């Protein structure tokens, strides 16, 4: 399996967060000083999220997008398509060694879905969603993780969200 590393920055930050927490509990002004150092370093280095965790968000958004399309809830389709592409873009920015062609292959149909939905048209959305899903799997195959196989959801796991259009 190919691995895509964010670098050691993540470990440094995690150690700082854990160590900083214990220190905060232990003493007053030194704690404040430590908190300042922590805030500064977080501000400079930013929070680092693993590629797998980003993919978890991508998976959820792909699912919400698909469920919204099935419910013909076009405003929600546009909203989720936008967020899904934002998260894909974050993956490409934070993990510059994931192949950009594969990111573009997924982002292109998703961008078209957003445009279609914003125009209140859904005719091509189902086909575009299938193209996007195939692009998820093409990259997983290239990354030697073909066992992470994405499909369109048959039912909703989101018991707390109604995917039908507002007012219906």
Interacting span for ligand HEC (CB under 6 A) from 22-30, 44-52, 113-121, 151-159: 44-52
When binding is defined by CB under 6 A, the residue of 6, 10, 71, 145 that contacts ligand HEC is 145
Interacting span for ligand HEC (CB under 6 A) from 20-28, 94-102, 119-127, 155-163: 94-102
- Between CA 72 and CA 78, with CA 75 as vertex, the angle to 5 degrees is 100
CB of 37 to ligand HEC, least distance (A): 30
When binding is defined by CB under 6 A, the residue of 72, 112, 124, 140 that contacts ligand HEC is 140
Smallest Cα–Cα separation from 65: which of 127, 5, 113? 113
Rule CB under 6 A: is residue 81 a binding residue for ligand HEC? no
**Residue (34 or 116) nearer to ligand HEC, CB:** 116
Residue 49 tokens read as 């999220």
What lies within 8 Å, CB to CB, of 56 at 6+ separation is: none
Rule CB under 6 A: is residue 51 a binding residue for ligand HEC? yes
Smallest Cα–Cα separation from 114: which of 132, 92, 98, 136? 132
**Sign of the CA dihedral running 14, 18, 19, 23:** positive
d(CA 19, CA 32): 14
Rule CB under 6 A: is residue 79 a binding residue for ligand HEC? no
The residue ranges that bind ligand HEC (CB under 6 A) are: 4, 50-52, 55-56, 58-59, 62, 98-99, 102-103, 106, 132, 135-136, 139-140, 143, 145, 148, 150
């Amino acid at each position: 399996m190919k691995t895509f590393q964010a670098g050691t920055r993540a470990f440094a930050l995690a150690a700082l967060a854990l160590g900083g927490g214990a220190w905060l509990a232990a003493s007053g002004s030194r704690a404040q000083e430590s908190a300042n150092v922590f805030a500064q370093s977080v501000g400079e280095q930013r929070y680092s999220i693993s590629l797998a965790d980003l993919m978890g968000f991508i998976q959820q958004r792909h699912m919400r997008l698909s469920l919204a399309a099935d419910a013909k809830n076009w405003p929600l389709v546009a909203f989720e398509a936008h967020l899904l592409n934002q998260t894909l873009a974050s993956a490409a920015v934070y993990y510059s060694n994931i192949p950009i062609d594969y990111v573009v292959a997924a982002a292109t149909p998703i961008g078209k879905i957003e445009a279609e939905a914003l125009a209140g048209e859904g005719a091509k959305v189902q086909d575009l969603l299938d193209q996007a899903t195939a692009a998820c799997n093409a990259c997983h195959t290239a990354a030697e993780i073909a066992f992470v196989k994405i499909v369109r959801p048959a039912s909703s796991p989101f018991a707390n969200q109604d995917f039908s259009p507002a007012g219906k």
